[in-house]
């Protein structure tokens, strides 16, 4: 038997070292080296042998001679998933789906497997056939071409995939797979890297797309080496608060499409339901006017949504005022509070401030600044804002309202949902035809103008 070899591997970039190093010389990250015991059988094959037909010899050619072909896509049957993938599943593409435990990763891909008309090989290293069947029965529709295969050995499952020749392979999850020639345990850096490398070789050679589920660590990043995200074609991240029923898929990387898109789902007893109109579920249905509440016209990628912003400003009970946010960047809130105190004259530093994005979603669009400032002033003055008003604009450090992208789409979405007035930056007026809209558009350039118009 070959002697076991101990190496240290950087979990961020995959660099090797014979001894532990505090700072990785390759990626300059600290405390990322982890010990791995590697043992290879000299009599065993270290690579999976594939028997695909055709000449796989590659020769170098000039860039000018490369013929650009159209990317062949196939619909997954899920409009929201197709959106974040850039229009559908690409032949030979590898998609990595990560997210917190219980967020709905396995449910989403099982729905894809049993509701699609494609022939799909669903490989599970975490659940038995009976457990998968129970979840499939709860979801409802059954695809007779969905093949369940519970296996963790990479050579065995890829050999079965070659035999079945499915339209799509789903693997749940990459942390359960292992290459038998490696003596390290499943989920280790070495196993994840080598398993992904074999899957990538299979997908690119056979042109069969592969979906991979990946676990995340306590910091929220996908577990395993950072190299894992570099090797795949698309990285999707499942987000959501388990106290709410809504889930969001964001695109972190996409070689075949935009990274600006997102998909929204609602978790139900029958599985994940596509949400085609998120504005209607993210806005409060209450008719009662309350202070501290406003509506922001925000954009995620090319998708426009209207969301409710809730703020509470109250007298500080303790010596140091509290600042608490849900679904928003705390540092940007501090900046907006400083602008209000400096430019408008509100003594906001003496008050506790609580900010919440209704619906449990996270917002990074700077165009929500105007709605947040309106909510803060409304709560501090204890004067409600009409529920028929919407806001879209970025607030600068000098109190000016800065232009935002996609202003026409924001106005159209507010008009479609029945809003009567929307406040936008005056700098967005260039080239904007107000006669096209059935909503009153108010253009402002400073926070002082907003305060005088809303609260007199």
Domains of the chain, residue spans: 5-38, 76-276, 281-455
pLDDT for residue 44? 45
Burial of 121 (0-12, 13-18, 19+ CB in 10 A): buried
Q: Are 39 and 4 in contact (CB under 8 A)?
A: yes
Query: Which numeric CATH code is attached to 281-455?
Result: 3.30.230.10
- The predicted structure's pLDDT at residue 40: 52
Q: Which two tokens stand for residue 256?
A: 């075949």
Nearest one of 357, 402, 381 to 290, comparing CA atoms: 381
pLDDT tens series, the chain, 456 aa:
455 577 888 877 778 888 888 898 888 888 888 877 665 554 444 444 444 444 456 688 898 888 776 678 899 888 899 989 988 999 999 999 998 888 889 999 999 998 888 999 999 998 999 999 988 888 876 778 899 999 999 999 999 999 999 999 999 989 999 998 877 788 888 888 889 999 999 999 999 999 999 988 777 777 777 788 889 999 999 887 777 778 889 899 999 888 888 888 888 888 888 888 888 777 766 667 889 999 999 988 778 889 999 999 998 887 789 999 998 999 999 999 999 998 888 888 889 999 999 877 888 899 999 999 999 999 999 999 998 999 999 999 999 999 999 999 999 999 988 899 999 999 998 888 888 888 999 999 999 999 888 887
Q: How far apart, in whole angstroms, are the C-alpha atoms of residue 377 and residue 294? A: 11
Per the CB < 8 A criterion, the answer to whether 153 and 198 are in contact is: no
218 in a labelled binding site: no
Q: Residues for the chain: how many in total? A: 456
Query: Which residues, in sequence order, are CB contacts of 181 under 8 Å at separation 6+?
Result: 40, 41, 44, 45, 46
Q: State the Cα torsion 118-123-127-128 to the nearest 10°.
A: 80
- 101 assigned to a ligand binding site: yes
- 76-276, which class in CATH? alpha beta
Q: Three-state SS string across the chain, please?
A: CCCCEEEEEECCCCCEECCCCCECCCCCCECCEEEEEECCCCCCCCCCCCCCCCCCCCCCCCHHHCCCCCCCEECCCCHHHHHHHCCCEECCCEEEEEECCCCCHHHHHHHHHHHCCCCEEEEECCCCHHHHHHHHHHHCCCCCCEEEECCCEHHHHHHHHHHHCCCEEEEECHHHCECCCCCCCCCCHHHHHHHHHHHHHHHHHHCCCEEEEECECCCCCECCCCHHHHHCCEEEEEECCCCCCEEEEEEEEECCCCCCCEEEEEEECCEEEECCCHHHHHCCCCCCCCECEEEEEEEECCEEEEEEEEEEEEECCCCCCCEEEECCCHHHHHHHHHHHHHHHCCCHHHEEEEEEECCCCCCCCHHHHHHHHHHHHHHHHCCECCCCEEECCEECCCCEEECCCCHHHHHHHHHHCCCCEEEEEHHHCCCCCHHHCCCEEEEECEHHHHHHHHHC
pLDDT at 50: 43
Taking alpha carbons only, the member of 257, 211, 250 closest to residue 109 is 211
pLDDT, residue 116, reads: 85
Task: Provide the pLDDT for residue 264.
Answer: 87
Q: Is 102 annotated as a binding residue?
A: yes
Q: What is the pLDDT of residue 52?
A: 42
CA nearest 376: which of 410, 349, 405, 400? 349
Nearest to 78 by CA among 196, 247, 202, 206: 247
Contacts of 392 (CB under 8 A, 6+ apart): 296, 297, 298, 367, 370, 371, 404, 407, 410, 411, 422, 423, 424, 425
Say if residues 215 and 175 touch (Cβ distance below 8 Å).
yes
How many angstroms separate the CA atoms of 280 and 258, rounded?
25
Is residue 99 marked as binding?
yes
């Amino acid at each position: 038997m070959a002697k076991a070899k101990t190496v240290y591997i950087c979990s961020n970039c995959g660099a090797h070292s014979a001894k532990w190093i505090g700072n990785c010389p390759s990626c300059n990250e600290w405390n990322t080296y982890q010990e791995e015991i590697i043992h290879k059988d000299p009599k065993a094959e270290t690579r999976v042998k594939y028997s695909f037909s055709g000449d796989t010899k590659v020769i170098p050619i000039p860039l000018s001679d490369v013929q650009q072909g159209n990317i062949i896509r196939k619909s997954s049957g899920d409009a929201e998933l197709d959106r974040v993938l850039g229009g559908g599943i690409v032949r030979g593409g590898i998609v990595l789906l990560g997210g917190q435990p219980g967020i709905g990763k396995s449910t989403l891909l099982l729905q894809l497997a049993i509701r699609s008309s494609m022939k799909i090989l669903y490989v599970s290293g975490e659940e038995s056939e009976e457990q998968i069947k129970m979840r499939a029965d709860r979801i409802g529709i059954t695809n007779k071409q969905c093949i369940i295969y519970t296996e963790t050995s990479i050579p065995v499952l890829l050999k079965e995939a070659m035999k079945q020749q499915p339209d799509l392979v789903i693997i749940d999850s990459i942390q359960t797979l292992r290459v038998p020639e490696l003596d390290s345990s499943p989920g280790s850096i070495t196993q994840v890297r080598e398993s992904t490398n074999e899957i990538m070789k299979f997908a690119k050679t056979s042109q069969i797309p592969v979906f991979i589920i990946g676990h995340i660590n306590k910091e929220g990043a996908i577990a395993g080496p950072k190299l894992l995200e570099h090797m795949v074609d698309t990285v999707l991240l499942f987000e959501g608060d388990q106290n709410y029923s809504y889930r969001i898929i964001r695109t972190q990387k996409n070689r075949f499409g935009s990274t600006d898109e997102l998909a929204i789902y609602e978790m139900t007893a029958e599985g994940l339901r596509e949400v085609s109109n998120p504005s209607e579920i993210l806005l409060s249905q209450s008719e009662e006017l309350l202070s501290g509440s406003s509506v922001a016209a925000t954009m995620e990628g090319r998708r426009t949504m209207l969301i409710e912003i809730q703020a509470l400003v109250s007298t500080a009970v303790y010596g140091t005022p509290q600042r608490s946010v849900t679904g928003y960047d705390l540092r940007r809130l501090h900046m907006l509070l400083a602008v209000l105190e400096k430019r408008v004259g509100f003594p906001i530093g003496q008050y506790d401030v609580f900010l919440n994005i209704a619906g449990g979603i996270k917002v990074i669009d700077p165009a929500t600044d105007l709605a947040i400032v309106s909510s803060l002033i409304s709560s501090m003055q204890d004067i409600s804002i009409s529920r028929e008003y919407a806001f879209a604009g970025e607030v600068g450090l000098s109190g000016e309202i800065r232009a935002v992208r996609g202003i026409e789409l924001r106005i159209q979405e507010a008009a479609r949902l029945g809003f009567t007035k929307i406040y936008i930056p005056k700098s967005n007026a260039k080239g904007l035809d107000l006669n096209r809209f059935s909503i009153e558009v108010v253009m402002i350039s400073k926070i002082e103008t907003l305060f005088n118009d809303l609260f007199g």
